[in-house]
Amino acid sequence: MSDLNKLTIAEARDQLRAKEITSQELTQSCLSAIDGADALGAFVHKTHDLAMSQAQAADARLAAGDAPDMCGIPLGIKDLFCTKGVDSQAASRILQGFKPEYESTVSQNLLDAGTVMLGKLNMDEFAMGSSNETSVYGNAINPWKVDDRALTPGGSSGGSAAAVAADLCLAATGTDTGGSIRQPAAFTGIVGIKPTYGRCSRWGVVAFASSLDQAGPMTKTVRDSAIMLEAMCGHDPKDSTSADLPVPNFEAMLTGDIRGKKIGIPKEYRMEGMPAEIEALWSQGADMLRDAGAEIVDISLPHTKYALPAYYVIAPAEASSNLARYDGVRFGHRATLAAGDGITEMYEKTRAEGFGPEVQRRIMIGTYVLSAGFYDAYYNRARRVRTLIKKDFEDVFATGVDAILTPATPSAAFGLGEMTDADPVQMYLNDVFTVTVNLAGLPGISVPTGLDSTGLPLGLQLIGRPWEEGDLLNTAHVLEQAAGFVAKPQKWW
Amino acid sequence: MEPYMSITTETAAKVAKLARIRVEEDALPALAQEFNNILGFIEQLNEVDVAGVEPMTSVTPQRLKRRVDDVTDGNQQGKVLKNAPDAREGFFAVPKVVE
C-alpha cells in the first residue's frame, strides 16, 4: 500500500471504514513523506511517536464502529495552535522551548474526533507576513516550481499550504487574520476556508489581532474542507466571542445545485495593474457559476480601497496589546542580563532579541496608533471605516446576493527573497482581496481554479453571508467541479 | 483628524520605549522612515467621511454571554510555573524591581 498520503480526507474516511486501510498505514505513509521533505521546511516539530499512538487509538475506535468522519485522519497543525506537551512557538524566538500545559480548543476538537497529529507547521512569526519569510525556523518553500527559483508558499499559513500541496498530510489547520489561509491556499493550488468570525474558538490559539483572527481548514478539496470544518468548530465557553450556534453537517450541504443563487462581482476588486491572467480567470469563474444556473450581478463595495489601511491600524493595535504578554517572565525566552540590569532592561532586551523585525515593526506601529493624542486620529478612525466596510457587505447581501466572487490574490506565488528590499507596504498588498472579509467577519474560501502561463496555480475567492458556510462551500464545490483543477506540483524535494 | 506629521527619530525612540523594545541609537532613523512609509499608507483613511459613524466594537452583533461568578479553575501552580525562564520557590523570579 503506497502513496496513501495522497488521499483526500473523504477517500481515506471511506477506505478506513471499509477496512481497506488502517490509520497506522495512512499515518506511516505521511510520516515517510514528511521525513523525505525537509527541503520544503513545512514541518518544524515532528511528533512521530505521538502520531503513531494516536493512529493506533483511531484504529481501535474504527474497529469498534461508529467512528466520526475524521477518525484516523493524519493532520498537520499550524505552530500557532497550543498543543499540550508539544512545542508551540508561533514561529517566534520569544516562545522558544514553550510547551503548553493545555490544548487549544480547535486542536482538542480535532483530537476528540479521532484525528492524528503529525507535527507542527511552519508559518510567519506570530502570523505576521504573507510569504512565510518572517519565521524563526527559516522559510517554508512552495512545492510548486517552474524554474530554478524557490517560491513562497504564501503566508502566514505557509507551512500548512506547502504540506498539504506536497501530500505530506491529508489536511492542515490554518489561521487567517487578513488572508493567511486563503492567500497561501491560492499560491499552492489547495482549498482554504476562513469561517465566520466566532465559528471556531480562538482559545489556545496564540493571539495576533483578536477581533480578526479565525482558524480554518486547509485541504485538497472543498469536500474535505466541509468535513474538517465541522470537526473544528462549535461553541466554546472559554472564548467569549465563540458563537453559540448549531454546527450543520456541511458536507451534506454540498448538493452541487446553485440554480437561482445570486453571485456578486464587485467592481472595486478590478485593481489597476492586475495581471490579465487573473482578470481572465475571474471572468471564467463567473461564467462557470452562470453555466451552473447562478445569476451573476455587478455589485459595488465602495469602501474596499480603505480596507488595507484600516487593517494596518487595527491589526497592529491589537497585536501591540496581545504581544505585551511576552515579557520574559512567564514563558519562553529571557535575555541574558548585564550586572545591574533591572526589570525594564529585562523587558526591552528580551523583546528586542525575541521578536523579529516585522513583529517589532507592527508592535511599534500599534503602540503609536494607540498612544495618547493619536488614538482618535488613527485607531478610532480605522474602527469607523471598519463599520463602513462591513456595511458595504450588508447592503449587498440585503439586495439578495448569496455570495461574492473575487480573485484570491493579486498575483501567483513570487520568489522567496524577491520582496526583501521592498517597502513593507508592498508585501501588505498581497492581502488586498482577502482583508475586507476579516474586517467584516465574513466567511471566505479560496478555490484553485487555474494555472498561469508559467504553470503556477491561481485561485478565486468566494465570500459568503455570515454563518452560511454550508451554502458558501456548496458554491465553492460547484466552482471546483467546473474548473476541474487537478494539477499537482512535480516532486523535486 | 490633525494633519499628517512626520515621525522623527525622537518619536521613534519614544515609541520603542513605550513598546518595551530596545532599539539601538543608530537604528532609529531607519525605523522612523519605516513608520513614515506605513503611516503614509494609512493616511488614506482621511479621505473617508466618517461623520456620525460609530467605531466598530464587535463584528458580530451577539451579546456576550454571562456566567455565574464562581471560581471554576485554579490550584495549578506547578503547571503555571512550568514554562517560566526562572521560577523559584513557587514564584516567578525577576530582577530587582525596587531599590
Q: How many residue contacts between A and B have a Cβ separation below 8 Å?
A: 170
Question: Closest by alpha carbon to A115, among A145, A152, A59, A75?
Answer: A75
Question: Closest by alpha carbon to A29, among A114, A110, A118?
Answer: A118
Per-residue exposure over A462-475, b if at least 16 CB sit within 10 Å of its own CB, e if not: bbbbbbbbbbbbbb
pLDDT at A464: 98
Mind listing the pLDDT tens digit for each residue in A11-57? 999 999 999 999 999 999 999 999 999 999 999 999 999 999 999 99
pLDDT at B2: 43
Is beta strand A74-78 parallel, antiparallel or unpaired with respect to A171-176? parallel
DSSP designation for A155: S
Residue A334: closest CA among chain B residues belongs to which residue? B85
Across A222-226, average pLDDT: 98
A180 is known as an active-site residue: yes
Degrees, nearest 5: CA angle A93-A96-A99: 145
Mind listing the pLDDT tens digit for each residue in A111-125? 999 999 999 999 999
Picking from B9, B47, B48 by the largest number of A CB atoms within 10 A of its own CB, the best residue to mutate is B48
Residue B83: closest CA among chain A residues belongs to which residue? A331
Cβ-nearest to A313 among B2, B42, B48: B42
pLDDT bucket at B99, cuts 50 / 70 / 90: low
Mind listing the pLDDT tens digit for each residue in A413-438? 999 999 887 778 888 888 999 999 99
Q: In chain A, which residues have their Cβ closer than 8 Å to the Cβ of B97? A: 342-343
Mind listing the pLDDT tens digit for each residue in A156-215? 999 999 999 999 999 999 999 999 999 999 999 999 999 999 999 999 999 999 999 999
Residue A367 to residue B53, Cβ atoms within 8 A? no
Q: In chain A, which residues have their Cβ closer than 8 Å to the Cβ of B54? A: 384, 387
Residue B41 to residue A312, Cβ atoms within 8 A? yes
> What's phi and psi for B43, nearest 5 deg?
-55, -25
Q: Which grid cell sits at B50?
A: 466618517
Cβ-nearest to A371 among B18, B83, B97: B18
Across A51-68, average pLDDT: 97
Inform me whether the pLDDT recorded for A379 exceeds 60. yes
Q: In chain A, which residues have their Cβ closer than 8 Å to the Cβ of B4? A: none
Mind listing the pLDDT tens digit for each residue in A187-196? 999 999 999 9
pLDDT bucket at B1, cuts 50 / 70 / 90: very low
Other C-beta atoms within 10 Å of A99: how many? 17
Distance from CA of B90 to the nearest CA of A (A): 12
Residue B23: closest CA among chain A residues belongs to which residue? A352
Question: Can you tell me whether residue B81 is helix, strand or coil?
Answer: helix
Residue A329 to residue B76, Cβ atoms within 8 A? no
Taking the C-alpha atoms of residue A274 and residue B26, their distance in angstroms, rounded to an integer, is: 39
ipTM confidence: 0.94
A320 is known as an active-site residue: no
Picking from A368, A371, A436, A468 by the largest number of B CB atoms within 10 A of its own CB, the best residue to mutate is A368
Is beta strand A74-78 parallel, antiparallel or unpaired with respect to A116-121? parallel
A46 is known as an active-site residue: no
Cβ-nearest to A343 among B23, B65, B94: B94
Across A351-375, average pLDDT: 96
Inform me whether the pLDDT recorded for A280 exceeds 50. yes
Distance from CA of B74 to the nearest CA of A (A): 13
Residue B76 to residue A101, Cβ atoms within 8 A? yes
Across A237-256, average pLDDT: 96
Mind listing the pLDDT tens digit for each residue in A477-489? 999 999 999 999 9
Inform me whether the pLDDT recorded for B3 exceeds 50. no
Cβ-nearest to B64 among A240, A328, A351: A240
Inform me whether the pLDDT recorded for A348 exceeds 80. yes
Question: Can you tell me whether residue A68 is helix, strand or coil?
Answer: coil
> Do residues A94 and A326 touch, judged by C-beta distance below 8 A?
yes
Inform me whether the pLDDT recorded for B4 exceeds 80. no
Distance from CA of A470 to the nearest CA of B (A): 18
**Catalytically annotated residue among A131, A156, A225, A242:** A156
**Catalytically annotated residue among A29, A78, A107, A130:** A78
Picking from A384, A394, A430, A438 by the largest number of B CB atoms within 10 A of its own CB, the best residue to mutate is A384
Mind listing the pLDDT tens digit for each residue in A117-151? 999 999 999 999 999 999 999 999 999 999 999 99
> Do residues A405 and A282 touch, judged by C-beta distance below 8 A?
yes
Report chain A's mean pLDDT, rounded to a whole number.
Answer: 97
Inform me whether the pLDDT recorded for B98 exceeds 80. no
Q: In chain A, which residues have their Cβ closer than 8 Å to the Cβ of B65? A: 237, 240, 244
Residue A244 to residue B65, Cβ atoms within 8 A? yes
Can you give the pTM of this predicted structure?
0.97
